[in-house]
Amino acid sequence: MWRKYIILLLMLTILLIYKPSLESPAVNVLVYNPTGEFTGRERIFELLKDNGFQITIFKNWRLSKDDLNGYKIILMYDYTIYPLTYIDNATLKNILDFIKNGGGIFLLTFSKPSLLADMAGITITQYVIIDDKNMFEYLMDNRILVYNKFGLEDIGKNVSKIVIPYSFALKFDKRSIPVVIVNNSTIAINLYTNQTLVGNFTPIAASYIERGRIIVSGGVDIFYDFYIYSEDNPQFIVNMFYWLAGKPPLKVSLKTNINRMYFNMSVAISLLLISSLLIAFFYKINVGEKRKIIGILLLIFIIYLIGIVFQFSYGYIITYQHIILLILLTIYIMTIHIFWNKFIPILRDSMLKLMIAIAIGYILPLIFLGYILFQNPPSPIYETFTDRLHMTIDVFLRTYGSIVIISWVGIPFLWLLFRKRYEEKLIYPHIIELNLPPEGYEKIFYQDLYSNYIFKAIAVFLFARVCPGIILLIYSHTWGGKTIPIEWINIIQTNAVLIFSVTIVIFTLKKAVEYGLTEKDKIIELRNLMFIGELLYTFIMFFAVPSIINSLILMEFNMNRIAINVLAPFISFIVGYIAIKIYQSDRKSLMSTIIIGIIILIYEYLINTTLLKPILNFLQQSSVNTIITILISVGFKKIYKDFEKSLKVKKRPPPPAQ
């Protein structure tokens, strides 16, 4: 019985507390678009729709009073250039009456003299606003400026920094107000005469015309898709439209763009996972003999060459990076052809298969990356289809080269070339001490590690290396250049090497147990051989050499970058060795885990202090370090436990005969 009363009480409470939100009616915006400048698919319209505006595209030149009924705002390019105006007198009168009776107009202008702007006390000059100090850092163009001061309180509400590209300087008088106040370092300059404009100027100004309101923008590129979501631009733009409608500003909604970002990131990560799975299990595919492998590599060479020739034929500059990558491809093919019979056959087949897996695996995600760039070009100079296509091809060639072709520097050009001699000088003497027969060594290293497990390890490492970069680019272009700090990519890649080294060693130890190596001192010798011999060689060829070559090709001789790409992974490699050594000591399991956790925490702190210092405070650094430490320590403990189980099973005496 009492349950009924509780349910009744809950329902009554909900009725008393719950108040349905009554959405305010949409503000109707007429986009006067007789010349078809707007397609209706621009992100400005998505943003306005997300924030309570109803958009109507009007394509006729004649605009009657009836056409304007029910609208609060007109958005239009400036068709009131006089004495020769583009619109007829009746349409102009209807627009003026609309403003005077309380309507708002957002005027995108780029030429003088302008009838509407002059009526508002705003003069459009032929001077361009530039600023070498307060540029938009993403594009480093002194005509793409950052501002943080505003002349109208409502328009500046919840706005701290905006980006306005390519704007003419507007002069304002006592009848008008600067919407944006320029920085102290901002100047207006005539690009043809270098004459500087003296006096008050602004990129955007506003005014009252009787009961109505007008905003004049000295440039049209603020509505270009890339800049709509740059910095606080969405809040700033929505505030301007609310001001024109005579309404107080509201906190901006970014629903459509957030959904776009998550969708694009989900697709990109899914494609990367598919690529990683393809690489991880490509060892099961029979690629074939020398002729087929050379043929596949030649096909990649031809496709890459066609891309370069296509760019060159349309007058685009071919950089030395493109040429060097093309030369590297040629060297790979020639080296494989010349030294084919000198490579160790099973390793040759495995490494060449790994090369092909990487080449095929990253085509899909990079095509999607090209699609993102094509849809979200970083500048209005890529307005035409052809311009966007060439930009996309250029980025594809550079990205494919830096990920795939540079990864091949050690696979097989160096790894295979020096492998046989390396084994004879540094590996075989230790194998003899282990009392491991040659066939046991070949099973562990050739068949298990380099013909199977290395595919999985490289797939995980490349995913950790590429995924943050693609997410960074998608995030950057979705939000108009607002980027996730690149330091996050560095720390992920550095920890990927640590995980790579430890998991490969434990895998090899586990396989050695399966092949009868169960004595503790022999397992320790094998561990040392793995770190000092096998992994050091693999680390140098797979990671260090490609990073150095990449820095040379990109002409980036920054010591910090070299430290991140070479020194930091090498330190993580050493930390991995210490972790395995502690696990194999006689300490209790819990104590080993605690010690390793402390070592990894110190390692994370030292690396993160260098890499993340510009973006994280002490508390955030400590949180990041602690989370990473726990994840890595627990993960290491789990995989080492699996090794110990296999060791116990192997050592267990056989059951007595019945």
The 10s digit of each residue's pLDDT in 595-626 is: 656 665 565 556 555 554 544 444 444 444 44
Q: Cα–Cα distance between 417 and 68 in angstroms, integer?
A: 76
Is-contact 144 135, C-beta < 8 A? yes
Q: Cα–Cα distance between 481 and 132 in angstroms, integer?
A: 18
What average pLDDT is seen over the chain? Answer: 79
The arithmetic mean of pLDDT across residues 85-114, rounded, is: 88
SS (H, E, C) 386-407: HHHHHHHHHHHHHHHHHHHHHH
Provide the pLDDT confidence category of residue 573 given band limits of 50, 70 and 90.
low
Asked if pLDDT for residue 123 goes beyond 60, the answer is yes
180-184, 186-190, 255-259, 430-434: segment of lowest average pLDDT: 430-434
**286 or 206, higher pLDDT:** 206
CA 281 centroid distance within chain: 27
- Say how many CA atoms lie within 13 Å of 498 toward its Cβ: 28
Asked if pLDDT for residue 18 goes beyond 50, the answer is no
Longest dimension (CA), the chain: 113
Asked if pLDDT for residue 533 goes beyond 80, the answer is no
Strand ranges across the sheet with 104-108: 53-58, 27-32, 73-77, 104-108, 212-217, 204-209, 176-178
**363 or 496, higher pLDDT:** 363
Q: What is the pLDDT of residue 103?
A: 93
Give me the amino acid identity at 572.
S
Question: pTM for the complete prediction?
Answer: 0.77
Q: What is the pLDDT of residue 516?
A: 67
The arithmetic mean of pLDDT across residues 159-174, rounded, is: 91
Q: What is the pLDDT of residue 218?
A: 92
Provide the pLDDT confidence category of residue 31 given band limits of 50, 70 and 90.
very high
Give me the amino acid identity at 469.
G
**151 or 318, higher pLDDT:** 151
Asked if pLDDT for residue 387 goes beyond 90, the answer is no
Q: Cα–Cα distance between 504 and 508 in angstroms, integer?
A: 6
Q: What is the pLDDT of residue 145?
A: 92
**16 or 124, higher pLDDT:** 124
Provide the pLDDT confidence category of residue 44 given band limits of 50, 70 and 90.
very high
Asked if pLDDT for residue 655 goes beyond 70, the answer is no
Q: Cα–Cα distance between 67 and 554 in angstroms, integer?
A: 57
Asked if pLDDT for residue 633 goes beyond 50, the answer is yes
Provide the pLDDT confidence category of residue 657 given band limits of 50, 70 and 90.
low
Is-contact 483 472, C-beta < 8 A? yes
Q: What is the pLDDT of residue 245?
A: 93
Give me 77's structure tokens.
């390019």
CA atoms 395, 313, 309, 271: torsion sign: positive
Asked if pLDDT for residue 635 goes beyond 70, the answer is no
Is-contact 172 204, C-beta < 8 A? no
Q: What is the pLDDT of residue 181?
A: 93
Q: DSSP secondary-structure letter at 114?
A: B
Q: Cα–Cα distance between 545 and 551 in angstroms, integer?
A: 10
Give me the amino acid identity at 473.
L
Report the candidate in 123, 324, 328 with the shortest Cα–Cα distance to residue 207: 123
240-244, 267-271, 514-518, 544-548: segment of lowest average pLDDT: 514-518
Give the angle subtended at the CA of 165 by the CAs of 164 and 168, to the nearest 5°.
95
Residue 237's contacts (CB-CB under 8 Å, 6 or more residues apart) are: 44, 47, 222, 228
Q: Cα–Cα distance between 564 and 494 in angstroms, integer?
A: 8
What b-and-e string marks burial along 96-131, b requiring 16 or more CB atoms within 10 Å of the CB?
A: bebbeeebbbbbbbbebebbbbeebbbbbbebbbbb
Scan for tokens 């070949």, then name that residue. 442
Report the candidate in 236, 161, 166, 231 with the shortest Cα–Cα distance to residue 206: 236
Which residue segments constitute the domains of the chain, with CATH numbers given?
Answer: 27-253 (3.40.50.880), 293-312+323-650 (no CATH)
Give the angle subtended at the CA of 285 by the CAs of 279 and 286, to the nearest 5°.
135
Asked if pLDDT for residue 319 goes beyond 70, the answer is yes
Is-contact 209 100, C-beta < 8 A? yes
CA 515 centroid distance within chain: 45
244-248, 319-323, 560-564, 636-640: segment of lowest average pLDDT: 636-640
